[in-house]
Amino acid sequence: MKNILPAVGLGGTPMLRLEASDAASLAREAFDGGIGLFHADSISAAERMAAGLSDVDRSEYKLMASVRSADELSDYLAAFATDHIDIALLATDGGFDPSGLEELKTIGRIGAIGLETRRLSDAVREAERGAFEVIAMPLNCLACDEELEAVSRIRACGVEIAALEPMAGGLWQSPVGAVAFLRSIGASPVFGVQYMWQLEQLLPTVKDVPALDDELWSEIHGERSRLAASYCRGCGECMPCPAGIDLPLAARMGQFIDSVEIEPLISADTERKMRLVGRCVGCGRCMEACRFHLPVRELIRANAERYREFLREHGGLE
């Protein structure tokens, strides 16, 4: 392993709900607390993180950015006010060709090239193909045996793993358990933090990584049994839906309500897509297709109800 990834990282998406000054303060507190990796999957998130790190020596932390193409990297360089991105994650729905990024790596604009994917099969295949140095994927204490086997295969290729959604989209409550579990399997968790109290809970695990002892493992195992059926990774293998429902959106809406910007959630397009949940005829094809054996019908219906409440609270279009 090249030790590309620091032990723990901070993701920028939840910061988009904060005032810019509060987001900058959060990023700086994270750095001061020992977090050495900052991940942005949007230009806005990059700008907020950069404001908090503006007076920190660039060599003291690493930046990771999710890009859809090589052309997008220049926007991230400007947003982060830097001349290089340490890890560029190619985040596409297919056609995983890193050639454009390789040219930027040659001239020093990129330190390492990674792949961001929600599909387990893509993560393993691309790691074994040898085109990427980092795989960023949803990974947390709810990981099933198939995911743990994938982690072993990826790491056997010398590829490092950035664990996205280490708190399982808000389902998991213990950052201690999350860090202990993910570090024990060789993954670097990248936490999305929206509040200072969340950061304060996380920081003690950064400088003193907790051991996965019998007591902690017993606690994790109990929570896994309770929560596993509620966590959708958003892989999309359940698609297409015969009723036209955007299943990954509907199954993860609860996670989005808790973490992403509010405006896109109350848009006419999102409301239209969530209304389609009412068209579900209960055919069960989604559950047959789900490799994680999730009760997809129950998830989308529960999330549709929560979304209706969310719209009422935020003056949406319903």
**Which pTM does this prediction carry?**
0.94
Q: Please, which pLDDT band fits residue 316 given cuts at 50, 70 and 90?
A: low
CB 66 within 8 A of CB 91: yes
- What is the Cα–Cα distance from 106 to 254, expressed in whole angstroms? 41
Q: How many CB atoms neighbour CB 226 within 10 A?
A: 10
Q: Where in the chain are the domains?
A: 9-225, 247-313
What's the residue count for the chain?
A: 318
- What is the Cα–Cα distance from 148 to 57, expressed in whole angstroms? 37
Over residues 175-203, the pLDDT tens digits come to: 999 999 999 999 999 999 999 999 999 99
Query: What's the pLDDT at 69?
Result: 86
CATH of domain 9-225: 3.20.20.100
Q: How many CB atoms neighbour CB 31 within 10 A?
A: 18
Does position 318 have pLDDT exceeding 70, yes or no? no
Q: Please, which pLDDT band fits residue 1 given cuts at 50, 70 and 90?
A: low
- What is the Cα–Cα distance from 298 to 282, expressed in whole angstroms? 10
User: Which amino acid is it at 16?
Assistant: L
